[in-house]
Structure 1
């Protein structure tokens, strides 16, 4: 089951000397992050009420100086799933894709979605098979024609080349991807930083 809390952003560096901060929002519209009410940290212990000022800058209630703002740098911000607006057709919260089983159009199992990443060229799904091997697939309508969140599955049409994550030291390789998707630049290994809060279209 998806986590009942959704990652919607991260606190960046201080902005000025009066406690303002940069906010890296993972929502469709950056300003939306301040409209969900108080947000929590990863542990659900601290809460943060944001006042959006524009340009990626926000005021956090109770934070009045640069030192206090600096101590929050890197804090991830979460919101309860039920406080988010419903998605439109062909839109998905990235967090809802994690945990879905993947199979080809022919029904061949391809593993399970364990992460959704965005390296700047659009979202990618990380699939992990029964042997623990990971594969990256672009999250487009062509490659992922069917997303059935309620049914717990997606259907994939594998491209000619996919990125397969080698095990450390496998065949003398480092932890760089073995193969790049045709027509794309080589991608780094899957980041630990998940952008799984905002809505993403499954577009071509």
Structure 2
């Protein structure tokens, strides 16, 4: 089984004519984008070796012109989950670790599994198997038990309850 790949950044538009690209880093420190080793595409098949020239500007080994850089626009930059440092403490985890966990109501009623964790700028939310979106806040997700394989979800009034 291939290792889980974690998205750390994204290649943006070309910058200039010599193959430089803008990059968006999703790491706490944008300059740490390359600190975890080589970066890969989502499948882990294509390797990208970046040299960061600034917080949002990089040179990619083997990319020498604007056209080659443009073809990479939108490419996600991933590392294997095993390349990231271990989390410390019970309340610390990577959002990617939530995928696949069972979602339960406070009374233990199964709500399905967490299909994905997404963040489009206004805060993270869990996507359940039935496509319900749950804000990833302490009020809506008071319990995260990665080791136990589940999260407890308190569905906000705005999230339609299924099957009622």
Q: Report the TM-score when normalising by structure 2.
A: 0.88
RMSD: 2.1
Q: CA deviation at 1:163?
A: 5.8
CA contact (8 A) 1:11 1:77 kept: yes
CA 121–62 in structure 1, closer or farther in 2 if over 3 Å, else same: same
CA contact (8 A) 1:19 1:65 kept: yes
Q: Report the TM-score when normalising by structure 1.
A: 0.72
* Alpha-carbon displacement from aligned partner over 1:21-76 (angstroms, at most 9, x marks no partner): 11122222222211111111123222111112223111111222211111211222
Q: CA deviation at 1:2?
A: 10
Q: Please, which runs of 5 or more residues in structure 1 have no aligned partner? A: 166-204
* Alpha-carbon displacement from aligned partner over 1:109-154 (angstroms, at most 9, x marks no partner): 11110011112210010112xxxx3211100111111111111110
Distance of 1:116 and 1:25 partners within structure 2: 17
- SS where residue 96 of structure 1 aligns? helix
CA 163–38 in structure 1, closer or farther in 2 if over 3 Å, else same: farther
Q: Please, which runs of 5 or more residues in structure 2 have no aligned partner? A: none
Aligned to 1:152: 149
CA 137–2 in structure 1, closer or farther in 2 if over 3 Å, else same: farther
Q: CA deviation at 1:3?
A: 5.1
Pairwise mapping of residues 70-89 of structure 1 onto structure 2 (< 5 A)? 70-89=70-89
Higher relative contact order (CA 8 A, sep 6+): 1
Distance of 1:109 and 1:2 partners within structure 2: 29
- SS where residue 33 of structure 2 aligns? helix
Pairwise mapping of residues 1-204 of structure 1 onto structure 2 (< 5 A)? 4-89=4-89, 90-128=91-129, 133-162=130-159
